[in-house]
Amino acid sequence: MWTAITREVSPALAGCELSFVPRSPIDVVLARSQHAAYCRALESLGCGVIQLPALPDYPDSVFVEDVALVFDEVAIATRPGAESRRGEGDAVHEVLGSLRPLLRIETPGTLDGGDVLCIGKRVFVGISARSNEAGRAQLRELLAPYGYTVEGVATRECLHLKSAVTQVAGDTLLVNPAWLADASPFAGYRMIEVDPEEEHAANAVRVGDAILYPDCFPKTLARLHEAGINVTTVDVSELQKAEGAVTCCSLLLRTATTA
């Protein structure tokens, strides 16, 4: 079965860090309603949802993906590239530590979970403003005993690697090629390109054989349907104003079932 770790929306969401989207008014009440619907959608796809309470002093804390990485064998506490976010992870790490051995990225490394895309035993890490070479090197060392490889992927004009590419099926990626400075690391995968008019449309959450996807990208959604991808849509418009996306709002991990 799947477990999803989430966190309620902070009342300070409007004070979020922004890099590539303009600041605009955020309706926090609506953001909370949308987040609740997002959690229900995860449940409908077979996830047991663990929801942590909001952190009033951390505007970006709803985006739990950035503070940790989860693999079948181990979890890793990251060190976010934005200094303002480095106090968000304690409760997340406590939960993960009860489910996996917990390792850590240490100074001077920085690593945002949004920059990490794992496909089987291949781990792709965005070369971005939020994740540095020291962070990638530490991740490579931490994962080597478990048989994972780690390779950098240069991005441009976007916050994280998973702003530009996510996995939507076993051998299939959803990609905005304009935001990848070098797509060669993904040679060999089938690629579905986002519609050029929907540049933010490459971010999707994969849960088993289904994906959870924003409802505001109809042209790219049609391409997913044409490719035979099973899609559940959600409205995350207020979270998108905070430069968030559907992957950002949860940490997904496979958990063993008991007989």
In a domain, residue 259? The reply is no
Confidence label for 14 from pLDDT (cuts 50, 70 and 90): very high
Pairing type for strands 149-154 and 165-169 reads unpaired
pLDDT at 248 over 60: yes
With contact defined as beta carbons under 8 Å apart, do 244 and 214 qualify? no
- Which among 33, 83, 103, 102 has a CA at the least distance from the CA of 62? 33
Three-class DSSP category at 210: strand
Residue 259 has pLDDT above 60, yes or no: no
Across the range 132-140, mean pLDDT stands at 98
**Structural domain contains residue 115:** yes
- Across the range 148-163, mean pLDDT stands at 97
Q: Provide the number of structural domains found in the chain.
A: 1
Mean pLDDT of the region 178-184? 96
**Catalytic residue ranges:** 160, 248
pLDDT of residue 56: 98
Read off the pTM: 0.96
Residue 156, in any domain of the structure: yes
* 255: confidence class by pLDDT, cuts 50, 70, 90: confident
The pLDDT tens digits for 97-113 are 999 999 999 999 999 99
pLDDT at 257 over 90: no
Is the pLDDT at 23 greater than 50? The verdict is: yes
Read off the CATH number of the domain in which 121 is found: 3.75.10.10
Structure-token match 């850590």, residue found: 104
Q: Is the pLDDT of residue 10 over 70?
A: yes
* Alpha-carbon dihedral sign for residues 254, 48, 162, 170: positive
DSSP bridge partners of 214: 234
Side chain identity, residue 30: L
Q: How far apart are CA 141 and CA 158, in angstroms?
A: 27
Q: What are phi and psi of 73, to 5 degrees?
A: -95, -25
DSSP string, 67-135: GEEE-SS-EEE-B-SSGGGTTS-HHHHHHHHTTS-EEE--TT--B-GGGEEEETTEEEEEESSSS-HHH
- For the stretch 51-98, pLDDT in tens is 999 999 999 999 999 999 999 999 999 999 999 999 999 999 999 999
Nearest to 128 by CA among 253, 259, 20, 242: 20
Mean pLDDT of the chain: 96
Q: Is the pLDDT of residue 258 over 80?
A: no
Residue 29 lies in a domain: yes
Q: Is residue 203 assigned to a domain?
A: yes
Mean pLDDT of 4-23: 97
Residue 31, domain extent: 2-254
Interval 34-46: pLDDT, tens: 999 999 999 999 9
What is the pLDDT at residue 70? Answer: 98
Q: Does residue 206 have a pLDDT over 60?
A: yes
Average pLDDT, integer, range 4-18: 98
* pLDDT above 80: residue 156: yes
